[in-house]
């Protein structure tokens, strides 16, 4: 249910409405738009329908949200969400935000050299995995806390905000101490305990689409985080499983315009895990930008053939510079800056 307030509603009236809603056991979420303030109400629909909400001063109308995702929907929030990262860059605005870095953090030297290279090339955020979700238990699982320390050092040296993945609800507090953005990987998109845990955390969340998840599944997963109190959610299309074997996954370009219509949340694209080979990264990035994505997440490694994970799809720093040079004019053409 959404409560649309009259244009000149006072803060006192808003507080009064919120207080009443909480009193009857409902959970209000305020969304202040440029012209209107909307209160999204989550809770037992029966209480809502028996309560004369339209009688409260300041309330203009009460409407049902018909979609199964409520807080993620455009009904709840017509304007696009913008998310500020460490007061350095905004995701969801006019900047096409480029996140770059290795799949895994391997050593202090490795992450520092990539961080410097991508910063030099104009990237906005540094990525690197310390806890890695690997298909095989025998593969490199990540450096854990030690990796987070190296990532923090690279951030300090370059000034770049950092994004890193958390897989275990028990590690959320630890990862949140280091990360500017916390990543939930494709394999954990529907790990509801983890989603609820990070919903209580104050850091922005990057939620990657599960490899077999529909867009509705993705938005329902985002709803878990939003309804737990964290409204800073960035969605990420990273390719889905199809019958095609030429690429690692099939990049679902349609996800971008469809998500933009259904939701106010920003959506970025990861062409590295979609294509699975470095040479597909630039064309897929261009397609994603043309379709209107808010940013890109690109794997970069100084020596891909020695990488502990995902070397095949990693760009060298030189190839990353080439990518940046190719996408800048395209972004500009579409009214975005990098």
156 versus 277: smaller Cβ distance to Mn ion:
277
Name which of 103 and 327 has its Cβ closer to ligand PEP.
Answer: 103
Q: Is 4 helix (H, G, I), strand (E, B) or coil?
A: strand
The DSSP-derived string for 47-107 is HHHHS-GGGSTTEEEEE---SS--TTBTTT--SPP-EEETTTEEETSSB-EEEEE-SB---
Q: What's the CA angle centered on 323, arms 180 and 319, to 5 degrees?
A: 95
- Please select the residue that binds Mn ion; options are 17, 53, 59, 103, rule is CB under 5 A: 103
CB of 273 to ligand PEP, least distance (A): 4
Give the residue with the Cβ less far from ligand PEP, 211 or 330. 211
**Cβ atoms of 231 and 71 closer than 8 Å:** yes
| Chosen residue from 75, 223, 270, 310 binding Mn ion by CB under 5 A | 310
Is the CB of 69 or the CB of 131 nearer to ligand PEP? 131
One of 92, 129, 142, 304 touching ligand PEP (CB under 6 A):
129
12 Cβ partners below 8 Å, 6+ apart?
none
Q: Name the strand (E) or helix (H) holding 297.
A: strand 295-299
Exposure b/e, 193-228, CB count within 10 A at least 16 = b: ebbebbbebebbbbbbbbbebebeebbbbbbbbbbe
- Select from 77, 124, 203, 208 the one that contacts ligand PEP (CB under 6 A): 208
Of the residues 133, 159, 257, 283, which one makes contact with ligand PEP according to CB under 6 A = 133
Mask 65-104, x = binds ligand PEP (CB under 6 A)?
Answer: --------------------------------------x-
- For position 185 contacting ligand PEP by CB under 6 A, the verdict is yes
Can you give the binding site for ligand PEP, defined by CB under 6 A?
Answer: 103, 129, 133, 185-187, 208, 238, 273
Positions in the binding site for Mn ion (CB under 5 A): 103, 310
């Amino acid at each position: 249910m959404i409560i649309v307030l009259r244009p000149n509603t006072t803060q006192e009236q808003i507080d009064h409405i919120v207080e009443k809603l909480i009193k009857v056991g409902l959970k209000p979420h305020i969304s202040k738009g440029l012209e209107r303030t909307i209160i999204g109400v989550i809770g037992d629909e029966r209480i809502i329908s028996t309560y004369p909400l339209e009688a409260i001063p300041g309330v203009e109308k009460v409407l049902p949200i018909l979609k199964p995702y409520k807080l993620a929907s455009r009904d709840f929030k017509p304007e696009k969400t913008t998310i500020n990262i460490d007061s350095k860059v905004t995701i969801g605005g006019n900047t096409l935000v480029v996140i770059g870095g290795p799949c895994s953090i391997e050593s202090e030297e490795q992450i520092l050299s990539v961080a410097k290279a991508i910063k030099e090339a104009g990237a906005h955020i540094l990525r690197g995995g310390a806890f890695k979700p690997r298909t095989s238990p025998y593969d490199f699982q990540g450096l854990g806390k030690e990796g987070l320390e190296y990532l923090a050092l690279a951030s300090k040296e370059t000034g770049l905000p950092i994004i890193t993945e958390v897989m275990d609800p028990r590690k959320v507090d630890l990862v949140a101490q280091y990360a500017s953005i916390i990543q939930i990987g494709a394999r954990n998109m529907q790990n509801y305990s983890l989603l609820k845990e990070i919903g209580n955390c104050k850091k922005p969340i990057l939620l990657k689409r599960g490899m077999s998840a529909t867009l509705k599944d993705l938005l329902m997963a985002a709803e878990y985080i939003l309804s737990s109190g964290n409204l800073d959610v960035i969605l990420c299309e990273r390719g889905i499983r199809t019958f095609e074997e030429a690429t690692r996954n099939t990049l679902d370009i349609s996800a971008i315009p469809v998500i933009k219509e259904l939701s106010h949340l920003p959506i970025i694209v990861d062409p590295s895990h979609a294509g699975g080979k470095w040479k597909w990264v630039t064309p897929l990035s261009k397609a994603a930008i043309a379709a209107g994505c808010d940013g890109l997440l690109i794997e970069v490694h100084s020596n891909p053939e020695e990488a502990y994970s995902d070397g095949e799809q990693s760009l060298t720093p030189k190839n990353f510079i080439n990518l940046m040079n190719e996408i800048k004019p395209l972004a500009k053409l579409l009214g975005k800056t990098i």
